[in-house]
Amino acid sequence: MNAAIASLVTLCLVVGASCISRLNVGVLSFLLAFALGHFFCGLPTAEVAAGFPARLFLHLTAITLLFSLAGANGTLDQIAWRSVRLVRADPRLVTLIVFGLAVALSSSGAGNFATTAMLAPVAMGVAGHLRVSPFLMAVMLVNGASAGAFSPIAPTGIVARELMGRIGLGGNDWALYLNSLAAHTLVALLGYALLGGPKLSRLNTMTGDPGLQGLSGVKTALSRAQRFTIAVVLAFGVATAGFRLDIGVAAFAGSALIILAGAADQSAAMKSLPWGVILMVCGVTTLVRVVETAGGMDLFARLLTGIAGPAYLPGLAALVAGLMSVAASSIGVVLPALLPAVPSLLVSFGGGNPLMVAFSINVGAHLVDISPLSPLGALCLAHAPPGEDRAALFRKLMAAGWTLAPVGFLLCQLMFGFR
């Protein structure tokens, strides 16, 4: 077996393991990267280790720490609680508010996973209280969180920027964000219309605070620590978006201010950091660098050329990304595996717009995150209202995930295939 075939088989094994095993494939990826590099590519250990994305690791750690601190002191819960209370008496509006809130929080730097983890308890609880379809609520929440995922200061946006920069597509952060925002907003609004959102009846008698059981300890007034945290997060946004301060530096500075001010429990925030996701992203990225060296990406591109012509490359890229992402991590596996293959795809297909193909991979991978095998869909399923048939909800979420893969093909082909 030559190096190219061995490297592609190795990458496929990692993707498969991420779908059927609980093993963090970041650990497996590091092991296989060194084995592949040594036995098939003749690379010394130091050269394989040089493929570790140190800058990406620092940025992910910094931004997730800042928002873990905001979660630990209840600031994010306060924002969610206050937003949902605004329209709790009108089921027709509450799903739209959840969508908008998810977009805002995810875009602000929290990212899609943290946003969904924070909002799922209150959103699904409200759905049960107002007799709104939990499936509709999940569609709105997940699409809202994913719509803001590619913000330049959110974890997924950071990963995409790093990976796209390595293939010469840097400097397109805001274009990617706006295209993803448009795609997910369209899907959310179509879901809202098709699943009966405008026809929901208004409940005239409301008592208590519906669906807030998941927000234990939320108080009416913002505490001093929470006000300080909001000010720091706003300053972080201004520093990074307005003054182009390095995201990692700004996030670590904000975290240090919150900790030094005693505004959040440092230990609780550290424990809640998504170390597993960070390890997965860095491990798969390191492996893919070796796969590229071995010629595996070129081989992958050649295998796809028989499926469709170059005119349909954006749609095909979105379809492949979506089908992989139904059961594998979008940020941890799919993006690190597919984005580095874009240059090879264009060579094999005989042309195309590399930026549009990269956009399609990013968008297509995240459109299917409603799947219950995805962390976002799983969070919604876990917080289904009491009395809800979870088996039926699982089937609906699963069907939506698979359906949105071909939808991603059509949508990305229309959005990116004719540029």
Q: What string of pLDDT tens digits covers the 419 residues of the chain? A: 689 999 989 988 888 887 777 788 889 999 999 999 999 999 999 999 998 988 889 988 988 899 889 889 988 878 777 776 666 557 778 889 899 999 998 998 888 988 888 788 778 877 877 788 999 999 999 999 999 999 999 999 999 999 999 999 999 999 999 999 999 999 999 999 998 888 876 543 344 444 444 444 455 688 999 999 999 989 988 888 778 788 889 999 999 999 999 999 999 999 888 888 888 888 888 998 898 889 888 888 788 776 777 788 999 999 999 988 887 788 888 899 899 999 988 988 888 899 999 999 999 999 999 988 788 888 888 888 878 888 888 899 989 998 999 999 999 999 998 77
- Give the C-alpha separation, 309 to 313, whole Å: 7
Residue 2 CA to its chain's centroid (Å): 35
pLDDT value, residue 304: 77
Q: Any idea which residue has 């591109």 for tokens? A: 301
- Give the C-alpha separation, 7 to 105, whole Å: 38
- Give the C-alpha separation, 228 to 20, whole Å: 43
CA atoms lying within 13 Å on the CB side of residue 217: 8
pLDDT value, residue 202: 56
Token digits of residue 297: 């990406």
Cβ count within 10 A of residue 35: 14
Cα→Cα distances 374→120, 262, 371, 402, Å? 14, 35, 5, 12
pLDDT value, residue 303: 80
Report pLDDT digits (tens) over 265-322. Answer: 999 999 888 888 888 888 888 998 898 889 888 888 788 776 777 788 999 999 999 9
Residue 63 CA to its chain's centroid (Å): 14
- Give the C-alpha separation, 250 to 296, whole Å: 37
- Give the C-alpha separation, 300 to 253, whole Å: 42
Do 122 and 215 meet the contact criterion of CB atoms below 8 Å apart?
Answer: yes
Inter-helix orientation angle 3-20/275-294, to 10°: 160
How many H-runs (helices) and E-runs (strands) does the chain carry? Answer: 21, 0
pLDDT value, residue 208: 45
pLDDT value, residue 191: 93
Do 36 and 4 meet the contact criterion of CB atoms below 8 Å apart?
Answer: no
pLDDT value, residue 416: 94
